[in-house]
Structure 1
């Protein structure tokens, strides 16, 4: 055997060993992420009998599919007046007020948000997209030479719709920073990455979804003459199932309703006047929303009757109840926002001659309110422990 053959054989063995070692590294990496982020099954503090009613985290695709067949419930917290408080509730009772007396609630800005420049009047709930490997399956592409942004866009478009969970990124050849393809100013990319979000409110990614995504990415890589590095799929699927289970445990929607006390309906025009006086704006979903200065949606006000509010029907519409809604994992500093929402609800109830009640039409007592606040604090602590802070870009993507 010649020296050339021996050299080629040695190089081949080194390549095989390198690929094997890289795959083992990726597998251990995803397993560590899953085990560190979701070490054990925890009860849902806001759902009664949570430990008995929620299945263990599925690790097999078929088990996950069976679990996801049951539609996810967005629970509304209801507290009995007889329940004892965890702590004495702070006094939130509102004096009798008129429409003109309702003042806009102050915007809540978390310490992280204070450091960011204010957005103008952005009302669209569009979280920042990143390559976050805590929630994404990430494929790295190494082209033999820099790739033009236009050529990459065309190659991606030829593969059709990757879905809202999939995103492409390129390393700007001038700045060396990563940016989402089509969203930056780069004309050429040095490296490319494709990500697939592993879970959101529709459920986790399954093996068939991941296989289809990898196939499309490989086709783009072949067209661009690039080498694609695919992490192991099974650890990613296990992480997807764990993420989905955790999100299901903390995915809570709190409601506070205002109903009539004498059977007379509320005029929708009066509801609109008070909502706008409190700083809320009617949106296309038929509800009034309160946004902070950065455009974050803090809480909403909807019709308790089936007909949604709209600019066209507001003058003729009347209702026997309205409901305030608060999306727990998507709001930063949620305990304060809950206080604000409840304050506005009580002011509006006083002006309308209605009563603030829970989903079972029982009055919201101080004891119940105190317990809700404690449970909110517990949920937010759990989210932060898993590095999924409420209201963060990561949380907004997971709960989309």
Structure 2
């Protein structure tokens, strides 16, 4: 081998080492820069080390608790979570809107590592919010899992919604790990990752996120936890014949129900639905001129605020409806409702509310509303 060949080989090795060294230095610089800025979460049961038994997927009824493993939601860290879902009795956000917070303060809303996994996008140079908004506003979901976009401005302010008049040095894309459609799938995670890569290619950004297998394992644990706790309690009103939908609606509204899409809701004093009322055929109350023969009352326990008489309140309203509509109130098995069973169910629901609290999924909380959607 000639001296020239040896020299070229040595030169090639040196160039490779220089490229590797530069990439390492750049990655280290990005990590240090991003590590400093996003708020850390307080202690959370879902982030603890306690374990729970694994249950069935939480798309149906539920009973259970959950145990997670994860990291704080920073622009240099990835979010991980482990959880459990149970079964029992019958039981985000697009970027763009201006925030009410002053421009010189951080937004309080942030990615939730208990139920979301984060992909971090770090721009080589700050990018105008006006340029990012058309792209990020379309990043609402990956498959059937909602996505949220958070930003870090060039002056290190955290934003829950991007603003057109600001410049951003980095973004977080938070993907929900599980909901009632099941855990995040490999296809859904790939869709989210592809969206992040597209963003990176458009605006010259580095993309960083956790390993796919780790994400899918976190999603499965969260789904198990929620399946163990996912409980809905139902009652049925048998009207004994078709009654005009307009009359049924008038009675329901007179008793205090309000519209929420095709269903009616009975609101709590904290502004969250306690339970819902729907037509037995699933149609909207104001859809067409057809009659109503059956009504369904539903208490969605994880999505309803804790209440010592959660079921009892629904029963009381159901009986008033039955009286006004000359209907029969029955349980989810079609049997007349026994007074003794009301107190028993309320006692069981108190246990469930406690389990939800212990699992870091307080009933009616923003986190519970996400994973039990």
* TM range, smaller chain: 0.5 to 0.7
In terms of fraction of residues, the more strand-rich structure is 2
Residue in structure 2 matched with residue 254 of structure 1 by the alignment: 233
* C-alpha distance after superposition, 1:7-42 (max 9, x if no partner): x779939939x87xx9xxxxxxxxx99784661216
Task: Assess if the C-alpha contact under 8 Å between 1:131 and 1:138 holds in 2.
Answer: yes
Q: Which has the higher contact order (CA 8 A, sep 6+)?
A: 1
Q: Contact 1:37–1:386 (CA<8 Å) still a contact in 2? A: no
Q: Quick one: which of 127, 130, 137 aligns to 2:117?
A: 137
TM-score after normalising by structure 1:
0.63
Q: Does 1:169 align with 2:155?
A: no
Whole-Å Cα distance in 2 between the matches of residues 191 and 341 of structure 1? 47
Is the 8 Å Cα contact of residues 259 and 265 (structure 2) preserved in structure 1? yes
Does the C-alpha gap of structure 1 residues 348 and 173 become closer, same or farther in structure 2, counting only changes over 3 Å?
same
Q: Paired residues, what number?
A: 307
For 2:217 and 2:50, the matched residues in 1 are separated by 11
CA root-mean-square deviation: 4.2
Query: Please, which of 260, 277, 288 is the counterpart of residue 301 of structure 1?
Result: 277
Aligned twin of 1:356 = 329
Post-superposition shift, 1:180? Answer: 2.6
CA gap of 1:238–1:369, structure 2 versus 1, over 3 A, is: same
TM-score normalised over the length of structure 2: 0.67
Find 2:285's aligned residue among 298, 310, 330: 310
5 Å matches for 1:173-212?
Answer: 173=154, 176-181=157-162, 184=163, 186-212=165-191
CA distance in 1, matches of 2:195, 2:45: 26
1:194–1:217 CA contact under 8 A, matched in 2: yes
Q: Equivalent of 2:258, from 281, 289, 310?
A: 281
Q: Is residue 291 of structure 1 aligned with residue 264 of structure 2?
A: no
Report if the CA contact (8 A) 1:172-1:179 is conserved.
Answer: no
Question: Kindly tell me: are residues 34 and 340 of structure 1, through their superposed partners in 2, closer, same or farther at Cα, counting changes over 3 Å?
Answer: closer
Mapped contact 1:174–1:186 kept (Cα < 8 A): no
**1:153–1:374 distance in 2 versus 1, CA, 3 Å:** same
**2:341 maps to which of 368, 372, 390:** 368
Deviation, structure 1 residue 192: 1.4
Give SS of 1:250's match.
Answer: strand
On the 8 A contact 1:281/1:290 being kept in 2, the answer is yes
Task: Find the aligned partners of 1:160 and 1:355 in 2 and give their Cα distance.
Answer: 43
* Alpha-carbon shift at residue 149 of structure 1 (Å): 0.8
Question: How far is 1:161 from its partner?
Answer: 7.2
Tell me which residue corresponds to 2:77: none
Equivalent pair of 1:282/1:310 in contact (CA under 8 Å) = no
Unaligned 5+ residue runs, structure 2? 1-9, 32-43, 68-85, 92-99, 101-107
Which residue number in structure 2 is paired with residue 83 of structure 1?
none
